[in-house]
Amino acid sequence: MLEVNGRRYALPSRPTVIVCVDGCEPDYIAQAVAGGHAPWFKRTLAAGTALIADCVIPSFTNPNNLSIVTGAPPSVHGICGNYLFDVESGTELMMNDPQWLRAPTILAALSAAGKACAVVTAKDKLRRLLGHGMRGICFSSEKANAATVEEHGIDRVLELVGQPLPDVYSAALSEFVFAAGVALMRTRCPDLMYLSTTDYIQHKHAPGTPGANAFYTMMDGYLGALDEMGCVIVVTADHGMNAKTRLDGSPDVIYLQDRLDGWLGAGRARTILPITDPYVVHHGALGSFATVYLGDEDVSRTMACIASLPGIERVLTRDEAASAYELPPDRIGDVVVVSERSTVIGTSAAKHDLSALEVPLRSHGGVSEQRVPLIVNRPIAGLDETQRWRNFDAFDLALNRAQ
């Protein structure tokens, strides 16, 4: 047994694959299964274990991937967004460097225990965080052509996978993750493999639409191949996804920095959108979660102003948010703001380039995107389906209950 972040894990006795499907609102699977587009999922839901779990808030990619691989909430691992305001240096910066990680990963512990591990992510932004402290294979689809044995534990990846380097904004970026997973399992047989996709499709295509169903058919085929090789497979997600549009199909945005500037004076408060990253084409940096640094301004009066805006779901103080969502209090603002199912939060209108949004916005970040699937391709006896399952129970189910 290993102990990581206060939880105990058995070593895998057979090849085990944990899959994080980015933006996998449960209805994507329900619609694909009901429409006959996902035969592996249909068989697995009937014969295996099918739970609905809660992801961590903010319902963004990096906090949730790190929760899954540490088995712990952001209050433990420290990654509460892509982007933060560093109070010490007084600057806004990306949180994708392992210096921000406060907890070891289960992957690192498994590799230290002599188990062969492999990680494939879609975008490179996650690679260094997921692979921190881990010996083994760790690369991204995005930069698969640049993988070296020294840094990534593998080279000649395009040759191994037999697919060209995919565009960073494409369904192929995620397909490459699965194709690489199957090729790695065939040729290297890792004990533990972690696969993490991108939500390019989910940001554009609603559950049950042809574009979404085609993506789940693709995934279904690769998961079926891994299953045939005898793998224990757990499928979960980092967050769900909802339409965030006005009636005319334009994004339903609350420009919070503009509102704060109006109430308090320009620049008195600072709005941070933890969704912010270099890849903004499919969501325009618009999600349903923001934190606000207020300096000397009155916290409760400002909170009341924010709460009065239509489309706002919750406004919490730093301490309330740290407690409610298990967040590191030193990395969030004085106030945390969550918007509703159909609304996103922006900073200033002038700072968001929405010209690349080709279809009505779908996005995430809020409590309305907290439900995610948690599927195991094995039946598990005596499971309490009424407990609150989390996506970061994935390794516990895979290693302790499904071997």
Assess 79 for contact with its own copies (CB under 8 A).
no
How far apart are alpha carbons 220 and 32 in whole angstroms? 10
Q: Does 394 bind its own copies (CB under 8 A)?
A: no
Pick from 3, 150, 159, 385 the residue near its own copies by CB under 8 A.
385
CB closer to its own copies out of 296 and 358: 358
Any idea which residue has 């790695």 for tokens?
A: 184
* Residue 30: CB minimum distance to its own copies, A: 4
Q: Which positions from 338 through 357 interact with its own copies, judged by CB under 8 A?
A: 342
Residue 201, interface with its own copies (CB under 8 A)? no
* 364 is a site residue for its own copies (CB under 8 A): no
Is the Cβ of residue 190 or residue 251 nearer to its own copies in the bound state? 251
Stretch that binds its own copies, among 102-110, 126-134, 242-250, 271-279 (CB under 8 A): 242-250
Q: Map residue 5 onto helix, strand or coil.
A: coil
CA torsion, points 105, 73, 313, 197, in degrees to nearest 10? 20
Asked if residue 125 lies in contact with residue 133, where contact means CB atoms within 8 angstroms, the answer is no
Contact 153, 136 (CB under 8 A): yes
How is residue 167 written in tokens? 């565009």
Closer residue to its own copies (CB): 79 or 361? 361
Distance (Å, whole) CA 160 – CA 393: 31
Nearer to its own copies, 152 or 283 (CB): 283
Report if residue 189 touches its own copies, rule: CB under 8 A: no
For position 237 contacting its own copies by CB under 8 A, the verdict is no
Least distance CB 270 / its own copies (angstroms): 24
The Cα–Cα gap between 358 and 353 comes to: 12
- How far is 223 from 208, CA to CA, in rounded Å? 20
Beta carbons of 134 and 105 less than 8 angstroms apart: yes
Q: Could you say whether residue 383 binds its own copies (CB under 8 A)?
A: no
The piece of 72-80, 200-208, 215-223, 288-296 that touches its own copies (CB under 8 A) is 200-208
Nearer to its own copies, 5 or 342 (CB): 342
Nearest-approach distance from CB 172 to its own copies, in angstroms = 23
* Site membership for its own copies, residue 258 (CB under 8 A): no
Q: Should residue 386 be labelled a site residue for its own copies when binding is judged by CB under 8 A?
A: yes
The residue with tokens 């919490």 is 316
Cα–Cα dist 320/316, whole Å: 6
Query: Which positions from 290 through 309 interact with its own copies, judged by CB under 8 A?
Result: 308-309
**String of DSSP letters for 88-142:** TTTEEEE--SGGG--S--HHHHHHHTT--EEEEESSGGGHHHHTTT--SEEEEST
Among 98, 249, 267, 329, binds its own copies (CB under 8 A): 249
Asked if residue 221 binds its own copies (CB under 8 A), the reply is no
For residue 113, state whether it binds its own copies (rule: CB under 8 A): no
Give the C-alpha separation, 151 to 142, whole Å: 15
Sole residue written with tokens 């694909």: 32
Q: How many residues bind its own copies (CB under 8 A)?
A: 34
Residue 27 near its own copies by CB under 8 A: yes
Q: Is there binding between residue 259 and its own copies (CB under 8 A)?
A: no
In angstroms, the CA 222 to CA 301 distance is: 53
Cα dist. 148→69, 129, 151, 153, 157 in Å?
Answer: 23, 18, 6, 6, 9
Question: Which stretch in 69-77, 139-147, 160-168, 246-254 sits in contact with its own copies by CB under 8 A?
Answer: 246-254
Cα within 13 Å of Cα(126), Cβ side? 29
- Sole window of 73-81, 328-336, 367-375, 392-400 interacting with its own copies (rule: CB under 8 A): 367-375
The verdict on 186 binding its own copies (CB under 8 A) reads no
User: What is the C-alpha radius of gyration for the chain, rounded to an integer number of angstroms?
Assistant: 20
Q: Are 24 and 215 in contact (CB under 8 A)?
A: no
Site string for its own copies, 29-68 (x = CB under 8 A): xxx-xx------xx--xx---x-x----------------
* Interface contacts to its own copies, rule CB under 8 A: 26-27, 29-31, 33-34, 41-42, 45-46, 50, 52, 206-209, 243, 245-249, 308-310, 342, 359-360, 371, 373, 375, 385-386
